[in-house]
Structure 1
Amino acid sequence: MNVPPTEHGEAHAPILQGLWESVRSGQEDILLSPYLPASYAFLTHVLLCAPFFALDALGSVCRRVRSWRIAAGSGPPPSLRRWFDCFWRVLYRYLTTVLPATALFHTLRSPALPQLAPSCWQLFVEVFSCLLLFDTLFFIWHVSMHRVTWLYRNAHQLHHQHHTPFALAAQDSGSLELLSLLLLALSSAWAVGCHPLSEAVFHLVNSWLAVEDHCGYELPWALHRLLPCMGGAPYHQVHHTLHSVNYAPYFIHWDVLFGTYRAPAKYSRPK
């Protein structure tokens, strides 16, 4: 292992070096595969939806779980049939559009695997920078899809069939929108110049935030309760209800600045 010396001439390995070496060890072909980005995005999305699948199943028999639902008066949680129909639609679009297109994009990027892992601070800065950049790019793209009639009809309208979204529906969109979102995420990581480990963490966090935004639950431990700069599921539920507000995916600053922010409390729980 080649580790750069410190100013005192002693070797100093980042805390994450062992993790990065275990990830790299014998896995270069997989990590550099052009099919990795789409496969990773799909699998992490499905796995992160699993807890909410369990909540929806419990909601049919547990009043406490139903009380956490944002649209408590809009009916029961989504059925098993609705979950599986959504799963097959998303899988089909990944296989037919997202996988081949992102494979080409990944090949053009010519990724490399550095020997050294990032420091913890570098990883945090890169992941946070990617989230801010993606949030900005998605805000612009999302507003465009709503304001340009052709884009709405051909890219975004399918996503808005879910008036009361659920976790898996975060990626239940037309092929054009699904592809554009993954390309925006990949481009954000490329623009920031992420270390591959930072990029993997960014995509993981990005997927979790998207799932949580669409989960349909106001959970006591939800991230937006800890960080008031984030919108969360109630904020995004307002967007699915009113369509013309709350365009940003995660943070609320762009909606506040452009006057498209709408507080969720007034709309999230029908009386």
Structure 2
Amino acid sequence: MEPSLESSSPLLLQSLWDRIRAQEDFLCSPLFPVLFSLTLYLSCCLPYLCLDTLSSRVDLVHHYKIQPQSRVTWVMAWSCLATSLHTHSVFIFPLSILHWYWRPVVLPAQAPGALHVAWYVLVCLLLFDLQYFVWHVLHHKVPWLYRTFHKVHHRYTATFALTTEHSGVWETLSLGLFAAVNPDLLGCHPLTKMLFFTLNTPTKNDCLNGTTELKKWTECMSEDPTVKATMYPNETYKAFNKGYFEWKSSFYCCL
């Protein structure tokens, strides 16, 4: 049962909210959502990019790479960054202007209660995770969706942080829509929305940059018939498959 959210005192967050509201003109401008999104995304990617740079020099870092045999080049990194910058400037910024014109942001004077924030941030994270899971499965299982929209996300077989948003316009905007609409549907306070976006961005990035289980998942995706049929000609795929899995045959399975 949902906790008594309104009874949680807003005083804990009021000081923080007052400082944020002091920048109200900027927060309500159409430029803020674009800069906020890009700043969060690049800040989350930077530590992983540093680790990729160190991995060729530090054995301890190299040992924990998902793909020890792969090498991330600056050309690959710049290509992903350019795609993200282009999408934000050409598509997201104009949409932000339209939203600013039709539904201007209003910042209430009172901060939400701490329990209110914690509850709705958790709900938004779980809801977005469910939506992303269903969306992703559909784009891998429906050949037309994969070929038309999702294929660009798998352009680089080497896993690195900037590939998390290396995707087509449809993919970026649809996932952005999920993230933006959920807090509105739940009637979240603007501070709750900001904290949700702040936590959601590193969560998305981290899911593509860790753990042994991710290795198994990545290999399963590479074995997906739709992926093989739309990404690789037969001979190319055989060469990729051999080079990719020879380093760790114990992971060559699908759970």
TM-score normalised by length of structure 1:
0.74
Q: Secondary structure, in 3 states, of the residue corresponding to 2:206? A: helix
1:32/1:66 CA distance change after superposition, 3 Å: same
Cα pair 2:121 2:193 within 8 Å, conserved? yes
* 1:13/1:193 CA distance change after superposition, 3 Å: closer
Asked if the contact 1:130/1:189 (under 8 Å) is kept, the reply is yes
Deviates more, 1:205-214 or 1:78-87: 78-87
Residue correspondence of structure 1 range 163-202 to structure 2 within 5 A:
163-202=157-196
Tell me how far apart the structure 2 counterparts of residues 133 and 114 of structure 1 sit (CA, whole Å): 25
Q: CA deviation at 1:56?
A: 0.7
Distance 1:50 1:155, change over 3 A: same
User: How many pairs align?
Assistant: 225
Deviations 1:189-230 (CA, angstroms, capped at 9, x unpaired) = 111221111111111111101111223x439xxxxxxxxxxx
Q: 1:106 to 1:189 in 2, by over 3 A?
A: farther
What one-letter code is carried by the residue in structure 2 that aligns with 1:270?
A: K
- Give the Å deviation of 1:44: 0.7
Instruction: Name the structure with the higher helix share.
Output: 2
Q: Residues 243 and 17 from structure 1, CA distance in 2 versus in 1: closer, same or farther, beyond 3 angstroms?
A: farther
Higher relative contact order (CA 8 A, sep 6+): 2
Q: How many angstroms apart in 2 are the aligned matches of 1:204 and 1:157?
A: 27
CA distance in 1, matches of 2:119, 2:216: 26
The equivalent position to 1:21 in structure 2, one of 18, 32, 42, is: 18
What's the offset of the Cα at 1:54?
Answer: 0.9
> How far is the alpha carbon of 1:83 from its aligned partner?
1.3
Structure 1: runs of 5+ lacking an equivalent: 1-6, 220-230, 245-266
Kept in 2: contact 1:164–1:240 (CA 8 A): no
Say whether residues 1:133 and 2:127 are aligned partners: yes
**Structure 2 partner of 1:218:** 211
Percentage of pairs with the same residue: 30
Q: Deviations over 1:139-171 (max 9, x none)?
A: 222223223333222221100113232111100
Report the equivalent of 1:227: none
Unpaired stretches in structure 2, ≥5 consecutive residues: 1-6, 226-244, 250-255
2:70 corresponds in structure 1 to 75
Deviation at 1:176, TM superposition (A): 1.0
Q: What letter is aligned with 2:125? A: L
Who is 1:270 aligned against? 248
How far apart are residue 131 of structure 1 and its match?
A: 0.6
* TM-score normalised over the length of structure 2: 0.78
The 1-side partners of 2:50 and 2:111 are apart by 36
Go from structure 1 to structure 2 and tell me whether the alpha carbon gap of 1:240 and 1:106 turns closer, same or farther (over 3 Å shift). Answer: farther
Q: Residue 89 of structure 1 contacts residue 172 of structure 1 at CA under 8 Å; is this kept in 2?
A: yes
RMSD (CA atoms): 2.7
